[in-house]
């Protein structure tokens, strides 16, 4: 009786033990968090988290401060300096026409107010101010282009994940259809309507499609984790994307010629406009560097006073009434020989200007090529979607006909397998064509510089 009781208790514990082991495997998989986001949410997160975009924002802040500093350079420089120190040793004093040397300790406090105002510097302040203003504006344009880069990258990955999901769905659906077809063939074999080789061939096809589903699932998860890294999501968090409306309307760019598209791109591409400003700014910096070749005239004003412990008069009398001195005038500096430092500054400015000009030419050349290529790819994407739609409709009808003929025993297994494969290929091609059409329009807008940043 006791043995029977222990065996029953053991049998009751088996399901509990199995449940614990199962939870140990399942819970780590379910521990990952999912974040439901739309495309607009992804763009917002990307602009907040993208490293390159944040670096651009930090650089733009410095450019703004440099422009403000250049404007303030037209005003006088004013500084106050104070020194508090002790002198120990021989001190020289002028008393009643005699120079008396004593060994004492002297505590001193000195104060000076200095002001300098540039009067003439061959236009250096004006050129520097104009250059920094162009640099700041160029930085602002590049910042906007950087935001378009973020949107473009997010759109590319977002659409790729949606395409992966669609291809995974097609693969799973095809696998289920082939499993159902395998059950039908097994029934036909039992009824003597089909040979055993047809059953084995179908089993092989089901096994192959199982690996296709696994590959599609792995590709989907890989792209989702890459997208999570792009958005800098928290560890073990994957995004769950909301679908996009892929219904497209004929773009307004289709009615434009290439010359009109080039003009649109040159007027809207922020990086191209920014580069033109950088070239202009570097040209002004050459003029600013050349100003050191010529004389500089500056006005100055100095106010100095001090207090000494050797004088028995009060701090207020010494500091405010007895020792204050005022000096003002004009300083003229004529450069004669400065170890070629001025020449180096001019040469460096010329180098920067030439490099920026080369970059401008390169951007203009790439802009022309990219515009033509993006437009042609967009037109091809439209035609490809139309062609794959016809391909899909024909493949669906053909598969239905072959499947019915196979059921009736008129067609063989090879014809059926080929029809099924053509249908799956048509479904995949049409899905890819739809997403490619949508993304090619994104590429065209990005190339023309009119991609919206929401």
pLDDT at 93: 63
Confidence of residue 181 (pLDDT cuts 50, 70, 90): confident
Query: pLDDT class for 22, splitting at 50, 70, 90?
Result: very low
Indicate the CATH number of 32-75+121-294+340-448 among 1.10.3720.10, 3.40.50.2300, 1.20.1600.10, 1.10.1660.10. 1.20.1600.10
> Is pTM beyond 0.75 here?
yes
pLDDT at 26: 41
The model's confidence at residue 21, banded by pLDDT at 50, 70 and 90, is very low
**303 has which bridge partners?**
113, 326
pLDDT for position 279: 97
Answer whether 304's CB lies under 8 Å from 112's CB: yes
Kindly state the tokens that stand for 411.
């067609």
Q: Starting from the edge strand earliest in sequence, which strands make up the sheet with 325-333, in order? A: 77-95, 98-120, 296-308, 325-333
List beta partners, residue 304.
112, 325
Q: What pLDDT shows up at residue 390?
A: 95
Instruction: Work out the pLDDT band at 51, boundaries 50, 70, 90.
Output: confident
Answer whether residue 57 shows pLDDT above 80: yes
Instruction: Place 269 in a pLDDT band, splitting at 50, 70 and 90.
Output: very high
Confidence of residue 7 (pLDDT cuts 50, 70, 90): very low
- Reported CATH class of domain 76-120+295-334: mainly beta
Which residues is 325 bridged to in the sheet? 304
Contact predicate 311/131, CB 8 Å: no
**Digit-coded pLDDT (tens) for 376-402:** 999 999 999 999 999 999 999 998 998
Burial profile 243-259: b = 16 or more Cβ within 10 angstroms, e = fewer: eeeeeeeebebeeeeee
Choice between 181 and 145, residue whose per-residue pLDDT is larger: 145
Q: What SS3 class is residue 409?
A: coil
28 pLDDT above the threshold of 50: no
Whether the per-residue pLDDT at 198 is higher than 90: the answer is no
Which secondary structure element, helix H or strand E, spans residue 188, and what is its range? helix 124-190
Cα end-to-end span (Å), the chain: 77
Looking at the predicted structure, is the pLDDT value of residue 64 above 90?
yes
What token pair was written down for 375? 């437009």
pLDDT of 425 > 60? The answer is: yes
pLDDT score of 160 more than 60: yes
Listed residue (426, 447, 436, 315) closest to 374, CA to CA: 447
Is the confidence at residue 255, as pLDDT, over 50? yes
Least confident of 88-102, 106-120, 252-266, 351-365: 88-102
Q: What pLDDT, in 10s, does the model give residues 132-143?
A: 999 999 999 999
**CB under 8 Å to 254, separation ≥6 — which residues?**
379
Domain positions in the chain are 32-75+121-294+340-448, 76-120+295-334
Residue 210's pLDDT band, with cuts at 50, 70 and 90, is very high
pLDDT value for 33: 79
Report the mean per-residue pLDDT for the chain: 87
Percentages helix, strand, coil for the chain, rounded to the nearest 5? 70, 15, 15
Q: Please check the confidence at residue 16 and state whether its pLDDT lies above 70.
A: no
Assign 3-class secondary structure to 268-321: HCHHHHHHHHHHHHHHHHHHHHHHHHCCEEEEEEEEEEEEECCCCCCHHHHHHH
Q: Which residues, other chains included, contact 295 with Cβ-Cβ below 8 Å and sequence gap of 6+?
A: 120, 332, 333, 334, 335
State yes or no: pLDDT of 368 exceeds 80.
yes
Q: Return the top range by mean pLDDT from 140-144, 228-232, 311-315.
A: 140-144
Given a cut of 60, whether residue 6 has pLDDT beyond it is no
Please give the pLDDT value at position 163.
94
Can you tell me the distance from the alpha carbon of 163 to that of 174, in angstroms, rounded to the nearest whole number? 16
Read off the pLDDT band of 97 (50, 70, 90): low
pLDDT at 188: 82
Taking the C-alpha atoms of residue 79 and residue 357, their distance in angstroms, rounded to an integer, is 40
């Amino acid at each position: 009786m006791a043995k029977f009781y222990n065996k029953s208790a053991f049998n009751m514990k088996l399901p509990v033990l199995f449940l614990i082991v199962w939870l140990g495997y399942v819970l780590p998989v379910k521990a990952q968090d999912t974040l439901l986001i739309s495309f607009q949410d992804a763009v917002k997160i990307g602009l907040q988290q993208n490293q390159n975009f944040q670096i651009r924002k930090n650089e733009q802040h410095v450019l703004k401060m440099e422009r403000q500093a250049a404007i303030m350079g037209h005003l006088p420089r004013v500084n106050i300096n104070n020194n508090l120190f002790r002198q120990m040793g021989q001190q020289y004093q002028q008393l009643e026409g005699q120079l008396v040397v004593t060994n004492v300790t002297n505590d001193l406090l000195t104060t000076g107010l200095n002001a300098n105002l540039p009067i003439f510097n061959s236009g250096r302040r004006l050129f520097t101010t104009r250059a920094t203003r162009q640099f700041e504006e160029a930085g602002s344009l590049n910042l906007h282009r950087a935001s378009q880069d973020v949107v473009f990258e997010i759109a590319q990955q977002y659409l790729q994940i949606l395409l992966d999901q669609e291809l995974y769905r097609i693969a799973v659906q095809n696998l289920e259809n082939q499993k159902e077809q395998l059950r039908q063939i097994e029934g036909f074999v039992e009824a003597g309507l089909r040979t055993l080789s047809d059953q084995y061939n179908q089993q092989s096809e089901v096994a192959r499609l199982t690996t296709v589903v696994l590959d599609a699932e792995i590709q989907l998860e890989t792209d989702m984790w890459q997208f999570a890294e792009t958005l800098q999501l928290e560890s073990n968090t994957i995004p769950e994307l909301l679908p996009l409306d892929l219904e497209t309307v004929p773009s307004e760019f289709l009615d434009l010629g290439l010359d009109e598209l080039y003009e649109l791109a040159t007027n809207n591409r922020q990086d191209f406009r920014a580069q033109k400003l950088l070239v202009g700014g570097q040209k002004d910096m050459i003029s600013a560097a050349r100003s050191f070749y010529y004389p500089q005239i500056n006005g100055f004003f100095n106010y100095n006073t001090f207090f000494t412990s050797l004088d028995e008069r009060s701090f207020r009398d010494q500091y405010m009434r007895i020792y204050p001195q005022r000096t003002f005038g004009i300083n003229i500096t004529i450069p004669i020989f400065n170890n070629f430092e001025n020449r180096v500054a001019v040469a460096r400015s010329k180098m920067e200007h030439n490099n920026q000009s080369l970059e401008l030419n390169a951007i203009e050349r790439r802009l022309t090529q990219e515009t033509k290529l993006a437009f042609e790819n967009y037109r091809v994407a439209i035609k490809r979607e139309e062609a794959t739609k016809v391909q899909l409709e024909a493949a669906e009808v053909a598969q239905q006909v072959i499947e019915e003929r196979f059921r009736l025993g008129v067609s063989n297994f090879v014809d059926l397998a080929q029809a099924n494969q053509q249908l799956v290929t048509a479904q995949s091609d049409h899905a890819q064509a739809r997403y490619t059409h949508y993304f090619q329009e994104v590429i065209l807008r990005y190339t023309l510089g009119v991609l919206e940043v929401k």
